[in-house]
Amino acid sequence: MNHTTPLLQLNSLGQSLWLDFLRRQFTESGQLQKLVDEDGLRGMTSNPSIFENAIGGSHDYDEAIAKLARQNKSIGEIYEAIVIEDVQEAAKIFRPVYDKSGGQDGFVSLEVSPYLAHNAEATIEEARRLWQRLDRPNVMIKVPATVEGLVAIRRLTADGINVNVTLLFDLTRYRQVADAFISGLEERVERGLPIDRIASVASFFLSRIDVVVDPMLERIARENGPHARRAAEFHGQVAISCARVAYQMYTDIFGSDRFKKLTDKGAHTQRLLWASTSTKDPAFSDVKYVDALIGPDTINTLPTKTIDAYRDHGDPQARLASQLGEAHRVIDGLAELGIDLPEISTRQLVDEGVDKFVRAFERLMQTLADRRGEALGEKLDRQTWSGGEFQSAIDARIASLGDEDFSARLWRKDPTLWTSDKAAQEQIRNALGWLHVAENMEGHLPTLDAFAKELASAGYRHAVHMGMGGSSLAPMVLSQAFPNPAGGNNGALQVSILDTTDPATILKLKESLPLEKTLFIAASKSGTTAEARAFCDYFYEQVDKLKTDDTGAHFATITDPGSPLARQSKERNFRHTFLNYADIGGRYSALSFFGMVPARAQGIDVDTLLARAMRMAKACAPEVNTADNPGVALGAFLGELALQCRDKVTFLMPDKIRGLGMWLEQLIAESTGKEGRGLIPIADEPLGRPKDYGDDRVFVCFRIQGSNDDEIALTAEALRKAGHPGVEIVLSDALDLGQEFMRWEIAVATAGRVLGINPFDQPNVQESKDNTNRILAEAKDRGRLQEEKPTLSEHGLDFYLSANASSGADALARFFGAAKDGDYFALMAYLTEDEHHTRRLQSMRRHIRDTLELATTVGYGPRFLHSTGQLHKGGPNTGLFLQITCDDGADAQVPGKWYTFGTLRKAQAQGDLEALHKHGRRAIRVHLGADVEGGLQTLEQLIQAYKPTH
């Protein structure tokens, strides 16, 4: 054992390390014991959220639930039986620590029902009952630090029950908590009862303080008033300052003459425990609340991800008692800034904490109800698959991933899973933040709620989310799944997604929206995305023309820390800048600020979205058997089938969540389409019969429980009977999109391992961007884009081909005639995206699919450049690409540039076609001219007339 690891050094500095996590498989598998033995773990806490994720996100408890259900136990009885057993088993592992420490450490905590937070008598009654049922000296009962909780703390301590005081945020309340504990000990002494084995901790929740206060400080700093500088200095320092002052209070209280009388009778102090210690602000270190708070006689309870991070790069030194004067300056200075920290700490944060646990408890009860129903014959399969003739190969692949410990290495962020290149490994290490983003974002829910309320009270009724690719696709999925036609209803905004340089779309938004009541959200990870910056500049100029008091108040930004967009946001005094986690790539950012800010503005239940994502994360946790791990097993299934030449992943999707297909297109294509390999996603293709599909397909059928998805279900069944391998995924409702984002991100990371590629880079995306920039630079000198001459012009259409053709029909026949088994056909439309155009494009792809038995895709440019464009250039050379362009009618100038949006889109199309040809792809272009409707109809007729000669 290495005794110099940062985690072990915490113990040598007087601080106990506890774990904020509990799950049956984690205990049974030996992983908990390993942390005790190797990292010096000395205790464990639990709460309703932890149990909701553990039970709802795994099959660990299925057998126990089934057994209890058959005994006719109620849902409440099932819950209690399960958690009692879990806590008892964990307490057994920690019992040697408890004995060796003389009752100082080795505790496991269980919370009373969150429904009882404001009922002292009911809390006392339940705590006594749980204490008796647990029947272990090294357990603690968690009681919230509400006013009513103070009564319970004193009486339970007097009863000899170990209490973990939870949801503590306020310094005055902390003094009251300590007094309640001491009073309980004194009462017990008066009864002549021993106090030498009574333990208690006061759990200060830290990061949640900063989550609420920091946005207030940012607003003051942004306003550039007399307190702006001080607000900037206090940013990110309030929670740690509270902890340092609390520690000073701790030493005073438990060093007092009053407590010395109890110490003489064997009393232990009520140690301070630092909770909510995962860093929520991506601008700060992920071990911020560990390094700063190390001191004797304290406890830090960490989630597993923070334990892993601290083991890797912690810097343990006793810092807790330092900078005390600065801590007092920060806390005292908040009042001068107009921030009422006591009010926030004793009311808002406590109420939010209780409410969070209540919601988690309610979700857990619903999960148990579902599982109980399952056990009694109401089967609810969530993910099932049929591998057909490939099943043995799929099973072998799953077993292989288990043998190499893939899941544990994934969660440890081990880059050697995908590459041996040192530079690429470093890039991968900084691209896996999505694994924990749901739990991180849960801490930002108060900020998102406050932002949404602020917008509503300021009179905003609409929002436009402006981004490309990963910055916009998740918002597009959610806006389609949760339509809000009545913008402004109940404070929710009507959200539009702008992810195209099509001038007609941009001008329509400008004309149709009341700009004075619209918030514009500029979203770009790098802060350099040309389209997002152009959208932002354009609408900033439009709003500025309204001569409002504060143009910047109509704008918000989502970007990485330190990006050019973040700097512009500050310079223009935007209403809010959401700094995202820099270790999350764009296409893996659905559950981050990029997806959750517009979702919350729209009034979507972001809390439940994130909760279901966390439930899926727990279902895919390292301790889960590979075959039972929904994300890893799905990735193994798809990856192995791709190796077996079944690489066309075809989605059958209900209308309600149809937008998910576009998100999956980018995630899969951009992650796996490289080095001549890749999964080829086929989204929104018209349903067909088994004979319409080639033998290169694998089908993924989504269904929503209780919805009328009969046509999809019948199609999926017919395909299965025909021998096509497939997966069926059942969603409870559209809020399960949260879990699907997480499931598929893990699946794609797994498929990357199977295919032997790095799923976290996009080497060919930049190529088209560079081509576009060069084309625009060359055109600047001549004042216009240079257009090549068409190879053929006919019926208003211009054809750009690599060889001569006698007619448009001949050109298409030659193009289609080059198709081979296993190819796919891509329609790349640089057109306005509307219902009429989409209907014609879908008609074309259906004919090609049915005629050539080719998988087909449709993408609107330039969106697909940030999506399937990587696959087109870097994936297998099996694509046939038909680019469709047109002349623009009305156009709009890009502010600060010599070109218009229409010119930019033409340059993007040229750059993309150039890149395809460079990589030897089979690609032609058809230009529709100014009569877009007529030209598209003519092209459709030509394609419909095509019949293969063999």
Active site residues: 142
Residue environment code for 387-400, b if the CB has 16+ CB neighbours within 10 A, otherwise e: bbebeeebeebbee
DSSP assignments along 889-947, one per residue: SS--BPTTSSSBHHHHHHHHHHHHHHHHHHTT-EEEEEE--S-HHHHHHHHHHHHHH--
CB 855, CB 898: distance < 8 Å: no
Burial of 667 (0-12, 13-18, 19+ CB in 10 A): buried
Give the CA distances from residue 107 to residues 98, 137, 266, 941, in Å, rounded to whole numbers and listed in that order: 7, 8, 19, 74
Distance CA 61, CA 230 (A): 51
Distance CA 688, CA 703 (A): 17
CB 89, CB 27: distance < 8 Å: yes
3-state secondary structure of 249: helix
Give, as one character, the DSSP assignment of residue 163. Answer: E
Distance CA 251, CA 269 (A): 10
Burial of 291 (0-12, 13-18, 19+ CB in 10 A): middle
Distance CA 155, CA 140 (A): 14
Q: What's the maximum distance between 2 C-alpha atoms anywhere in the chain?
A: 107
514: left (phi over 0), alpha (psi -120 to 50) or beta: beta
Kindly calculate the radius of gyration of the chain based on its CA atoms and give it in whole angstroms.
30
Residue 48 CA to chain centroid, in angstroms?
A: 21
Give, as one character, the DSSP assignment of residue 201. Answer: E
Phi, psi of 205 (to 5 degrees): -95, 115
CB 572, CB 522: distance < 8 Å: no
CB-CB neighbours of 848 under 10 Å: 24
Closest CA to 638 of 671, 595, 598: 671
Phi, psi of 152 (to 5 degrees): -65, -40
Beta bridge partners of 204: 168, 274
Cα angle 706-708-710, degrees, rounded to a multiple of 5: 120
Distance CA 68, CA 79 (A): 10
DSSP assignments along 543-595, one per residue: HHTTT-S-GGGGEEEEE-TT-HHHHHHHHTT-SEEEEPPTTB-GGG-TTSHHH
Closest CA to 18 of 49, 46, 47, 45: 45
Phi, psi of 107 (to 5 degrees): -100, 150
Give the CA distances from residue 652 to residues 352, 354, 391, 622, in Å, rounded to whole numbers and listed in that order: 40, 41, 21, 30
Give the CA distances from residue 23 to residues 45, 126, 241, 311, 586, in Å, rounded to whole numbers and listed in that order: 11, 22, 33, 21, 31
CB 194, CB 157: distance < 8 Å: no
Strands 271-275 and 298-302: parallel
Helices (H) and strands (E) in the chain, counts: 39, 24
**Calculated CA dihedral for residues 570, 571, 572, 578, nearest 10 degrees:** -20
Distance CA 373, CA 742 (A): 26
3-state secondary structure of 107: strand
